[in-house]
Amino acid sequence: MNILQILPSLDVGGVETGTIDLARYLAQKGHKAIVISGGGRLVKELDKIGARHYTLPVGKKSLFGVIKMVRQVCDIIRNEDIDIVHVRSRVPALTAYIACKITNRVFLTTAHGYYKKHHLSKVMGWGRFVIVPSHIIAKHMVSDFGVPYDRIRFIPRGVDLSRFKFRSPGTYHSKVFTVGMVSRITPLKGHSFFIKAVALLRKNIPNLKVVIVGSAAKDKYMGDLEMLTKRLGLTKTVEFLSAREDVPSIMHSLDCLVSATITPEAFGRAIVEAQASGVAVVSTRVGGVVDIIEDEKNGLFCNAQDPKDMADKILKLYRDKDLRDKLVTDGRRRVEENFSLDTMMTKTLAVYEEALKAVNILVIKMSAIGDVILSVPSLRAIRSKFKDAHIKVLVGLQARDVLDGCPYINGKIVCDFNGKDRGLSGLWKIGAGLRKQCFDIAIDLQNNKKSHILSFLSMAPLRYGYDNGKFSFLLNNGIKDDAPYLDPIEHQFRVLKSAGVKPADKRLELWPSPSDAERIDALFQENWIKPSHSLIGINVRASSRWNSKNWPAKRIAELCDKLAKELNMRVVLTGTKEDALYIGKIKGLTASKPVVAAGRTAVMELASLIKKCKAYITPDSAPMHIASALGTPFIALFGPTDPVRHVAPSKDHIVIKKDLKCSPCYNPNCSKGYKCMNSIEVEEVFTAVKNILSKSEGSL
C-alpha cells in the first residue's frame, strides 16, 4: 500500500511522534510511506527510515491557502500513486478531503483531540473510517459531529517498548524524589494547578525535585508560570525544560509523572510512556485517561483543578513504596497488553486494508411505490457486482416500506420533500447526511434535478446517471439519454452498464414479512374469508389524480357480481383511503358485496393480500408491480399510457387496451369522455380472468 499522512508540522509532540512511528512501521513492512507537513525537527527521522517528506504549508488557516494546497496535494497523490490519505489535524484535513474526492482516493482521519463544535472540525468526521484513541473521543465524534458508529475504529495510541524500557521497582533514586509533567505548555494542561500542588508538597517531601518538559505555544503563558513559580518560592525546586526528543531518558529520571489536564483529551500518551518506563502516575480523571488508568491499580486519580488533592495523591506515592511498586508493575503489564506500538500499528494496518476493500454505494430512487419496485432488478444487479459493498437507497417517504427485507441493500435513507425536507434547506440537510455516509459511488436512477443535486452533495467521487440537462452537469459519469425506446427497467440498466454492472434479470421481487401475512389473515377472518375460498383482487383506481386511468365504478361492480355468480369467487377491493367514496359507489351497485380492504393495508400488507389472490385486476398503477413481484397473475387495464413502456414484467399476465387515435395521451384528465377506459367491457375482463385461471389450473 502507498500511504500519505498529512499534518501541520513535524515538531516534537504526540501526534508528530505517532506519524513518525507509523511511517517507520509501514516502511519496515514494505509499504510506501509519504508525509506532507510544514516541516520541523522530526523531518530528519523520516529521512532515516526511508520515508519521503513534502514540505507544504498545509496548516495555514485561510480559504485561499486551502484552495492553493488542493492542486499540489492532488499532484503528490497522483505522482506517488497514493492509495490512502490519512490526516491528523483539521486544517490540512479539509485540503486532503477535497484532494481525495478529486483523485478518488480513500480519506481517513484520526481524531486526536476533543474538538470544539466548529464547522472546520466537522471534516475530521468525514473519513471513510474515523480512528479514535479512546472511548470518550468516540462518543464525542458520534454525538457532536454525527459520525455513524459503524465508521468509528478504536485504536489506542501505542508506545515503542524498545525505546521506553522498564525500570524495575526498587531502583528509585535515594537522594531525591523527582516529579514531572511532560506535555505541551498550555492552560488546558493544568500546569498552574500542578505548580500550586508542588508548593504544598515541598513541606512534606524535603528532597523534592520537579521538572516541567514541553514547549509553550504562547510566551505570555510561559512567563505567567515562571512568575507563579517564583512567587511560591519554587525557583530552586522546579526546572522548566523545553520540548525534548529524548523523552525515554526523561521518563527514566522520574519517580512520578503527573497529568494535570483540566479538559477532556483524546488519550494520554505521556501516561502510557511513563507506565512503560516503570514510573508511577497521578492523573486528573478527564477524557481518554479513563481508558488507561484504573484507580489504585495502575495509577492514582485526582480531582481536576484541585492542587490539594493532587498533592495528597503524590504524597501517598512517596510514602507508600509498596503501593508505588504495585502500580508500576501493573502499569507496565497493561501497556504490554493494550498499548504497545506493535499492537497499534497492526490495528492501523488492518483498518487500511478494510478501507481499501470497503465500497459504499448510494442508489437514488425517490419516486412513487411502483417505480421503486421497478428498481429491484437494478439493486439485485448492483449487489451481484459488488458482493461486499455497503449499499443504501435514498427513497421517498411514500415508498419507504417497499424495500423492507430486501437482501440486496444494507439500509434505506428516507426523504420527505413535502415535509421536513422541503425546499433548498431540506436538500442541503439531506446532502449533509449523505456526506456522513462516505459514499464512493452514487447511482442516480431517479434522474431529475433534485436527484442530481443530491448525488453531487453526497460527494461520492463516482456519480452515474443520465445527462438529461436537469442539472446533470453535477454528474461526472453521465450518459446521454438518446437510446431508442426502452422499458423502465432497461432504461435503468443503461446507467448500471456505464458503472460496470452487467444486469440481465428483470424479475421483480418484494419481501412481505410473516407479520404482514398475519394481519391480512386477521382481515380475512373478520370478513368471513376461509382458506378454501378462491380470491380475486381488484384495484379500484390508479390514483385520484389520474382520472384517465380509472375504469368506471359501474363496470367494476358488474364484474364483481359476475365473478361471484359464475365463478364462485370472493372479490377483494383494494385501494387507498382516498378511494373510500369511489368504493362506496361500487358497493352500492353490487349484489355480491365484495370485501373492502382499501385504506386498511400498508404496502407490504397489500403485497401479502395480493399473494393470496388467484388473479389480480388493476389499472396502470403500483399494485400491478406488486402483483408481478409476488408472482400473482394479473390483468392490466391500460388507457392513456403505453403498456409497452409500463407493464410490469411477468410470465402470466394479460393486457387489455383499446387502440384509439388519441391513446396513449399521458393526460391525467380527458375532454373526450375517457373513451380509452370506458371502451373496456366487463365481458372481456371476465374472459381474461377465466384464461388466467385456466392457465394456473393447468399448471397445477
| Residue range 136-153, pLDDT digits in tens | 888 888 888 888 888 899
Residue 443 lies inside a defined structural domain of this protein: yes
462/551 same-domain check: no
Residue 221 lies in a domain: yes
In terms of Cα–Cα distance, which of 651, 652, 619 is closest to 638? 619
In a domain, 653, yes or no: yes
User: What's the pLDDT score for residue 697?
Assistant: 64
Give the DSSP H or E segment for 568: none
Q: Is pLDDT above 80 for 61?
A: no
For residue range 90-121, list pLDDT tens digits in order: 889 889 999 999 998 999 999 887 777 777 78
At 618 the three-state DSSP class reads: strand
Distance between CA 406 and CA 408 in Å, rounded? Answer: 6
Q: Examine the domain organization and report whether 183 and 268 are in the same domain.
A: yes
Distance linking the first and last C-alpha atoms of the chain: 59
Specify the amino acid at residue 661. Answer: K
Half-sphere exposure of 180 (CA within 13 A, CB side): 27
* Residues 541, 573 within the same domain: yes
Q: What is the pLDDT of residues 176-202, one digit of tens each?
A: 889 999 988 888 899 999 999 999 998
Per DSSP, the three-state class of 465 is strand
Instruction: Assess whether pLDDT exceeds 80 at residue 359.
Output: yes
Burial string for 241-251 (b: 16+ CB within 10 Å, else e) reads eebeeebbebb
Q: For 574-601, b where at least 16 C-beta lie within 10 A, e where not — what string?
A: bbbeebeebbeebbeebeeebbbbbebb
Give the 3-state secondary structure of residue 393. strand
Residue 496 pLDDT greater than 90, yes or no:
yes
Question: Where on the phi/psi map is residue 590: left (φ > 0), alpha (ψ -120 to 50), or beta?
Answer: beta
Is the separation of the CB atoms in 603 and 611 below 8 Å? Answer: no
- Examine the domain organization and report whether 335 and 370 are in the same domain: no
Domain hosting 253: range is 177-339
Tell me what pLDDT residue 244 has. Answer: 78
Asked if the model's pLDDT at residue 67 lies above 90, the reply is no
- Cα dist. 315→177, 206, 258, 282 in Å? 10, 12, 12, 10
Residue 406 lies in a domain: yes
- Residue 174: pLDDT band by 50, 70, 90 thresholds? low
* Top-confidence residue, 91 or 377: 377
In a domain, 353, yes or no: no
Q: Distance between CA atoms of 305 and 324, rounded to whole angstroms?
A: 23
- Higher pLDDT among residues 367 and 682, named by residue: 682
Q: Which of 307, 339, 371 is the last residue of a domain?
A: 339
- On the question of pLDDT at 569 being above 70, the answer is yes
Residue 700's pLDDT is: 37
699 — pLDDT class (breaks 50, 70, 90):
very low
Instruction: Report residue 536's pLDDT band, with 50, 70 and 90 as the boundaries.
Output: very high
Q: Report helix, strand or coil for 284.
A: strand
Mean pLDDT of 277-304: 90
> Across residues 513-531, what is the average pLDDT?
90
The better pLDDT of the pair 283, 530 is held by: 283
What is the CATH classification number for the domain harbouring 240?
Answer: 3.40.50.2000
Note whether 573 and 662 are same-domain residues: yes
Residue 509 lies in a domain: no
Give the pLDDT band (50/70/90) at residue 173: low
Per the CB < 8 A criterion, the answer to whether 314 and 258 are in contact is: yes
Q: How high is the pLDDT of residue 33?
A: 93
Helix H, strand E, coil C: the string for 619-680 is ECCHHHHHHHHHCCCEEEEECCCCHHHHCCCCCCEEEEECCCCCCCCCCCCCCCCCHHHHCC
Question: Residue 71 CA to chain centroid, in angstroms?
Answer: 28
164 occurs within a structural domain: no
* pLDDT digits 0-9 by tens, 627-636: 999 999 999 9
My answer on whether 78 and 227 are in the same domain is no
Give the mean pLDDT of 273-299: 89
Same structural domain, 460 and 594 = no
In the sheet that holds 634-638, the strands lie side by side as 595-596, 570-574, 535-539, 615-619, 634-638, 653-657
**Given 441, 472, 498, which residue is the final one in a domain?**
498
Question: Is the pLDDT assigned to residue 671 strictly greater than 90?
Answer: no
CA–CA distances in Å: residue 602 to residues 200, 224, 520, 576: 72, 70, 10, 9
Q: Same domain, yes or no, for 365 and 470?
A: yes
Domain boundary among 440, 468, 498: 498
Mean pLDDT (the chain) is 89
Whether residue 18 is found in the same domain as residue 143:
yes
Q: Determine which of 123-132, 204-213, 639-648, 689-698 has the lowest per-residue pLDDT on average.
A: 689-698
Q: Which residues pair with 300 in a beta bridge?
A: 282
Count structural domains, the chain.
4
Asked whether residue 514 carries a pLDDT value surpassing 70, the answer given is yes
Q: Decide if 276 contacts 166 (C-beta within 8 A).
A: yes
Q: Is residue 461 domain-shared with residue 529, that is, in the same domain?
A: no
d(CA 696, CA 151): 50
Flag whether 166 is in a domain: no
281-319 core/surface letters (b: 16 or more CB in 10 A; e: else): bbbbebbbbbbbbeeeebbbbbebebbebbbbbbbbbbe
In this structure, are 128 and 185 located in the same domain?
Answer: no
Looking at the fold, whether 491 and 599 belong to one and the same domain comes out as no
- Within 258-320, residue ranges assigned H as helices are 269-277, 307-319
Is the distance from CB of 259 to CB of 271 less than 8 angstroms?
A: yes
